[in-house]
Structures are given as structure tokens and as C-alpha cells.
Amino acid sequence: MRVLITGANGQLGGALQKLAPAWADINAIDVDDCDLTDAPMLRARLVVEAPEIIINAAAYTAVDRAESEEELARAINAGAVATMVEAMAETGGKVVHVSTDFVFDGGSSTAYAPSSPRNPLSAYGRTKAEGEDKLRPQDLLVRTAWVYEAGGANFVRTMIRLMKERDELRVVADQTGAPTWATGLARTIWALVEKGASGTFHHCDDGVATWHEFAVAIAEEAHALGLIPRIPVIHAITTAEYPTPARRPAFSLLDCSATRALLGDRAVHWRENLRLMLEEEAKLG
């Protein structure tokens, strides 16, 4: 089956290619291959590729910059999705689209279900929600959060770099969610595709953390693997003490129970996957 993966050079795009099943005839593209903001170019590329499934792992993810570049974010996060859906509607193909916890406002006290009402707080969240709205019932939407991967640009690797440079760090402790290893997310996406799933599903690693708790765990695991020379002091601060252009949801835990039930697999705790990722990071040198 012909599968086109967008966002080929990103964290998830790379993991999807690495874990692709034998039945998938993969082609993967990134911004150097096709400008997703150019609808005619994207449509022409889809005609050439003729995929039966598109896994859209591409996105505008610069959350703070999106506040001043909302139209660019919209072109990638919503406009390109609309083009993909239109192309697949003509050929009978399927779009698998990846979205984010940022479509929620963080006001809940319980994990967000796939059907929970959305209320994004930021330009990034708004454009991702608009992208979700372009999908058809037969398409597949997978929401996730706090994604990281060995070798990628992410919170884990940023923390390791800072921990090598500094004796003390300040990390926000009043935003709660679940870190997610891109490798595990890719496995879930492929499994959902193989099941023929459609509609909305959530995937995050098991457990709950604040960014501060995540940073402390990174320090402990990275030090144990020799990735950092010492464990720095990590001060817990509030969101108000670290202002950013974009508002973040204070609570963005996703309810992944329907995903786990459909796939019949166990939820893996985020700390277990963090350790696996850092072992890969150590091998990269």
C-alpha cells in the first residue's frame, strides 16, 4: 500500500519511517520537497505520489512565533490539511492527521477525552483545531502532547544542553500533562492504521508530570547515563514568572483509554520511555 509521510525530517516523521511495517510502500517528503503553503504545488505532488494513505506529521509548531505568524501557521496546519483531504476524496484515499493538546484550554480537572470540547488559547492551537475540522469521518485524527525523540529539537535535549552549562535552572511547575516519546507515538499510529481506525484517538505516554517534574527526571536519568556531569538545582517557578507570547493550557492530560482498548496494548509510563530515549541519545554521542 502506498503511504506518503509528510514532515519526513521531523521527530515523528523519522520515527514513522523507522517503524514502517512491511506492507507500507513509503515515500516521505519535507519542506525541501514540497511547500505545504502552496496548495497547487502540494496538489500536484499528491497527484504524482498517488498515495492511498497520507500520514500528515508536518506542522507549524513554533508556538510563540505563531502569535505573530498566524496566517503562515494556518496555511500549514489547516490549509495543507484541506488540500490533502480534497485529494484523497477524489481517489478514495485516507488522511491520518496528527494534532495536539493545545486545542484544549486546560480548564479541565480530568483528562481530555477525544470528544471533549475544544477551546484553544493560542494561534497555534486555533490553527491546529482548524486543521482537525478539515478531516472527514473516514479519516484518522491522533492527538498527542509533549513529544520528544533522540536527535530531535525538543525539551529533553534542550534541558540536557542547559544542564551541561548551568548549575541551576528554573522550570515551570504549574503546567501539567504527559511527555510522549515519538517512537511510541509512531507505533500507535501504525497500529491504528492497520486496524483501519477512523475518527479521533489520543496517544501519550502513561503517567502525569509538570514540566518541572519532567526536568528533574531528565536530570536524574541523564546523569545516570553520563550525559551530564552533575545534577543541577532545578527551581520550580510559575507560568507567570516565565511569560511567553502564547498562552499554554495549564492542564492538558489526554485520555488515551480508548486507544489502548482498541489496540489491546499496555500503556508505557513516560519515565520508562524517557530512559529508552536517553539511551538512544547516549549512543548518538
Q: Which of 112, 124, 148, 242 is catalytic?
A: 124
Count CB-CB contacts under 10 A for residue 164.
13
> Is the pLDDT at 138 greater than 80, yes or no?
yes
Q: Which long-range contacts (CB under 8 A, 24 or more apart) does 70-76 make?
A: 70/123, 70/126, 70/127, 72/37, 73/123, 73/124, 73/127, 74/126, 74/127, 74/130, 75/36, 75/37, 76/36, 76/37, 76/127
Verify whether residue 124 is a known catalytic residue: yes
pLDDT for residue 31: 86
> Span 126-150, mean pLDDT?
97
CATH superfamily of 2-154+178-206+252-270: NAD(P)-binding Rossmann-like Domain (3.40.50.720)
Per-residue pLDDT of 40-66, as tens digits, reads 999 999 998 899 999 999 999 999 999
> Is the pLDDT at 285 greater than 80, yes or no?
no
How many Å apart are CA 169 and CA 11, to the nearest integer? Answer: 25
pLDDT for residue 281: 94
Count CB-CB contacts under 10 A for residue 267.
16
pLDDT for residue 114: 98
State what percent of residues in the chain have pLDDT above 70: 100
For the question of whether the overall pTM of this predicted structure is more than 0.85, the answer is: yes
